[in-house]
Amino acid sequence: MVALIIVISLYVLCSLVLLAFGAQCYILTYLFLRKRRQRVAFQREAMKYYYGVTDENQYPLVVTQLPMFNEKQVAQRVIEAAAAMDYPRSRHEIQVLDDSTDETIGYVDETVKSLCSRGYRVKVIRRADRTGFKAGALQHGLNFTDAEFVAIFDADFVPSVDFLRRAMAFFVNRPRLGLVQGRWTHLNKNASLITRGQAMGIDGHFMIEQAARSWNGLFMNFNGTAGVFRRSAIESSGGWQHDTLTEDMDLSYRMQLADWETEYVPDLTVPAEIPEDINAFKNQQFRWAKGSIQTAIKIIPMLARKKMSRFKFLQAVLHLTHYMVHPLMLILAMLTMPVLYFVKVNLPLAWFVGIVCCMILATSGPATMYMVAQHYIGNRIRQQILLIPAMMLIGTGLAVNNGKEVFEALLKRASPFYRTPKKGESHGTTGYRPVKDLTCIIEILIGIYCLVSFQLFLGYTNFLVSPFLMLYASGFLFVGVISIIHFRKPALIDFKIKAPEATEI
């Protein structure tokens, strides 16, 4: 009896927390809409500032850092794109932070040599070891520059010619502005159903969530790329640290806790590559899921000591712990069968209708946010709405992969650092392939379990949970089967990096 009470209580608690995360999507959408017109008008005007400045000495010194590790498919492209930005050459230097161990070294050296011969200020910085991975490389690069501002682009990004000129305008007469973050767009959005679903999720985060937080004085995170830092904001906040897998979120929160401001600019766009292989996407999600929970464990105590409104604190906690939705979904999927077997609920009609309405509102929260994002990006809603089921399947199916990493973070377990292979403009194999494990088998088994649960209790006092059981079953089976299909694809190199010590995750 005690065990049953515990199971039911856990089921109800998980449901309520997921309800809260669903409602959060409405809150962020409202915060975005109430500030959109005012902030967009201000930002579009602000970005024109340096187009009227002809004296190069009035431009701050900027270093563009390009961290990379074995990126032969995209290394040349990002270096040339960084050099092509129309910021005065005398005020702009480029650091290629190359930790590569393969033929990428040759591509980098050849490209840099060519650019230097044409008068560009480009240098390659290599380390004896990869301590701290990307965070370590970024921190190490600061030792070789006197620049006041630091722009950062991952290897698969292609900054536009006017990115720096537009981004640097926001720092004028704003001495406490520590970060300007641009919006990711997509080079290969239409490659597959997987990439289309990912693109919609990314668009929702960048168009709605980031804007809502930044424009309303809430904590927002640096997204690891496509942004510009004031160097003093980095250094006064403790610099780049590598005790979490999301060094970008960690630094940006520490920076804001030190009272530095942020500016998110949706019109400041930078296209990037989306993982086309589901296993590469899982590797990426592995870092984001585990890293964000590691950062939450580190940062939330700091937030608790900082004087702020309860609403701002709650929004920060929901932001940092967003990946908790995946283990919560996994727990609900596993507990539904025993709960339905032992609990027979006969609700009055009014209660039944009320609960159904709450569930519909909560589960449609993310879809609503994504559709609003697509509208303001300029995409046709009729076409995009057809992608909602695919995105829901992917999001649900990732619960095993991401849930596992959340639990690892909570248990403070060290794990390998998995890089996400980039395809670039090549066709066929990339020369690298993502790390693959047997998570797909677990996904399929849990999918079958949910499908059996759905069939056993269909029409039997489970009107409220039948749709969710079907969603769980479809999501787990979809991601599991696709993972196995991609698992069998050939590649030249299986890239797995040795696990670091616990302090260098």
The one catalytic residue among 98, 203, 248, 250: 248
Contact 326, 402 (CB under 8 A): yes
Which sign does the torsion angle of CA 311, 313, 316, 317 carry? negative
pLDDT at 31 over 90: yes
User: Helix 310-320 crosses helix 278-305 at what angle (to 10 degrees)?
Assistant: 150
Q: Which tokens is 11 given?
A: 């089921």
Condensed to tens digits (0 to 9), the pLDDT of residues 373-399 reads: 999 999 888 778 888 888 888 989 999
Is residue 248 among the annotated active site residues? Answer: yes
User: At a CB cut-off of 8 Å and minimum separation 6, what does 353 contact?
Assistant: none
| pLDDT tens digits, 309-336 | 999 999 999 999 999 999 999 998 998 8
Residue 462 reports pLDDT greater than 60: no
For residue 168, CA distances in Å to 91, 221, 308 come to: 12, 19, 29
Nearest CA to 65 out of 152, 164, 159 is that of: 152
Q: What is the pLDDT of residue 426?
A: 57
Sign of torsion over alpha carbons 427, 430, 434, 440 = positive
CA 58 to chain centre: 35
In this predicted structure, which of 1-10, 17-26, 87-96, 133-142 has the lowest mean pLDDT?
1-10
pLDDT, the chain, mean: 88
Q: Considering the chain, what percentage of its residues have pLDDT values greater than 70?
A: 89
Residue 341 scores a pLDDT above 90? no
Question: What pLDDT was estimated at residue 497?
Answer: 33
DSSP percent split of the chain into helix, strand, coil, nearest 5: 60, 10, 30
How many Cβ atoms from other residues are within 10 Å of residue 396's Cβ? 25
**CA separation (Å) from 475 to 67, 118, 337?**
35, 52, 17
Burial class (CB in 10 A: 0-12, 13-18, 19+), 425: exposed
pLDDT confidence tier of residue 491, bands split at 50, 70 and 90: very low
Band (pLDDT 50/70/90 cuts) for residue 436 is low
Tokens describing residue 227: 């942004």
277 is catalytic: no
Mean pLDDT of the region 355-376: 84
Give 146-192 pLDDT, tens digit per residue.
999 999 999 999 999 999 999 999 999 999 999 999 999 999 999 88
Catalytic pick among 98, 99, 156, 250 = 99
Tell me how many degrees the CA angle 30-267-210 measures, rounded to the nearest 5: 40
Mean pLDDT over residues 43-72, rounded? 95
| C-alpha–C-alpha distance, residues 163 and 226, integer Å | 9
Residue range 463-468: mean pLDDT, rounded = 72
Q: What is the pTM of this model?
A: 0.90
Looking at the chain, the whole-number percentage of residues with pLDDT higher than 90 is 68
Residues 121 and 92 sit within 8 Å (Cβ to Cβ): yes
Q: 61-65, 171-175, 229-233, 413-417 — which is least confidently predicted?
A: 413-417
> Is residue 218 over pLDDT 70?
yes
Q: Could you give the count of Cα atoms lying within 13 Å of 202 in the half-sphere of its Cβ? A: 25
Residue pointed to by tokens 């292979």:
421
Q: How confident is the model at residue 133 (pLDDT cuts 50, 70, 90)?
A: very high
State how far the Cα of 347 lies from the Cα of 367, in Å rounded to an integer. 28
pLDDT of residue 495: 35
pLDDT bracket for residue 283 (50, 70, 90):
confident
Note the pLDDT of residue 414.
77
pLDDT of residue 328: 94
Predicted confidence at residue 500, as pLDDT, reads: 32
CA angle 384, 385, 391 (to 5 degrees): 90
The helices-and-strands tally (H runs, E runs) of the chain is: 19, 7
Phi, psi of 182 (to 5 degrees): -90, 175
What secondary structure letter does DSSP report for 19? H
**Residue 202 CB coordination number (10 Å):** 19
Distances (CA, A) of 8 to 2, 251, 304: 10, 39, 31
Pairing of strands 149-152, 122-125: unpaired
Least confident of 214-223, 368-377, 447-456: 447-456
Is 213 exposed, middle or buried, given 0-12, 13-18 or 19+ CB atoms closer than 10 A?
buried
Q: What is the mean pLDDT of residues 10-21?
A: 90
Token pair 């039944």: residue: 352
User: Given a cut of 90, is residue 49 above it in pLDDT?
Assistant: yes
Pairing of strands 122-125, 62-68: unpaired
Tokens of 429: 């194999």
Q: Which of 6-15, 185-194, 346-355 has the lowest mean pLDDT?
A: 346-355
Taking a C-beta distance cutoff of 8 angstroms, is the pair 65, 138 a contact?
yes
Structure confidence at residue 98 as a pLDDT band (50, 70, 90): very high
Distances 37 to 29, 215, 254, 338 between C-alpha atoms, Å: 14, 11, 29, 50
Instruction: List the structure tokens of 411.
Output: 């248990």
In the three-class reduction of DSSP (H, G, I as helix; E, B as strand; rest coil), residue 93 is classed as: strand
pLDDT at 247: 95
